[in-house]
Amino acid sequence: MSKSRIFFILSLAFLAGVFLASFFQIEKYILLLLVTSGIIVFVINYKNKKVIVASAAVLFLALGIWRTNVSLDAVKNNLADQKMGPSEFVGIVSKEPEIAEQNQKITIESMNHDNHYRITEYGSEMVGGGKSRMKILMNVSAYPRYQYGDEMKVSCVLQKPENFSENFDYQMYLAKDGIYRLCDKAQITVVSKNRGNKSYTFILSVKNKFEEKLSAIFPDPEGAYLKGLLLGGSKRMTKDLSDAFQKTGTTHTVAVSGYNVTIVAAFLMWLGIWLGLWRQQVFSFAVIGIVLFVLMTGAPSSAVRAGIMGTLVIWAMKEGRLANSTNAILLAAGAMLLINPLLLRYDAGFQLSFLATLGIVYLSPLLENFFWRGGRAPKLIQETVILTMSAMIFVLPIILNSFEKLSLVSPIANFLILPVIPAIMGMGFVAGMIGFVFVPLGKLVGFVPYIFLKIELFAVQWMASWSWSSVEIKNFGWEHITIYYLILFLAIYFYKRKSRPKAAVSPEIII
Mean pLDDT, the chain cut into blocks of 10 residues (511 residues total)? 87 95 92 92 84 93 95 89 81 87 87 43 41 79 90 90 82 90 90 88 88 93 90 80 88 72 72 77 81 75 74 66 69 89 88 82 77 57 72 86 84 83 86 92 94 94 91 84 91 80 42 34
Residue 372, H or E segment: none
Asked if 326 and 312 count as a contact pair (C-beta separation under 8 A), the reply is: no
Closest CA relative to residue 146, chosen from 197, 209, 99, 179: 99
- Which DSSP category does 196 fall into? B
What does the pLDDT read at residue 289?
80
What does the pLDDT read at residue 201?
87
Other C-beta atoms lying within 10 Å of the C-beta of residue 379: 14
Closest CA relative to residue 390, chosen from 371, 419, 362: 362
Asked if 232 and 260 count as a contact pair (C-beta separation under 8 A), the reply is: yes
What does the pLDDT read at residue 200?
85
Question: How far is it, in rounded angstroms, from Cα 463 to Cα 151?
Answer: 46
Q: Give how far Cα 278 sits from Cα of 272, 274, 281, 330, Å.
A: 8, 10, 5, 29
What does the pLDDT read at residue 128?
43
Question: How far is it, in rounded angstroms, from Cα 508 to Cα 499?
Answer: 16
Q: Give how far Cα 307 sits from Cα of 299, 348, 357, 466, Å.
A: 9, 16, 11, 36
3-state secondary structure (DSSP) of residue 118? strand
pLDDT tens digits for 137-151? 999 998 889 999 999
Q: Return mean pLDDT, the chain.
A: 82
Please tell me the total number of residues recorded for the chain in this structure: 511
Other C-beta atoms lying within 10 Å of the C-beta of residue 426: 17
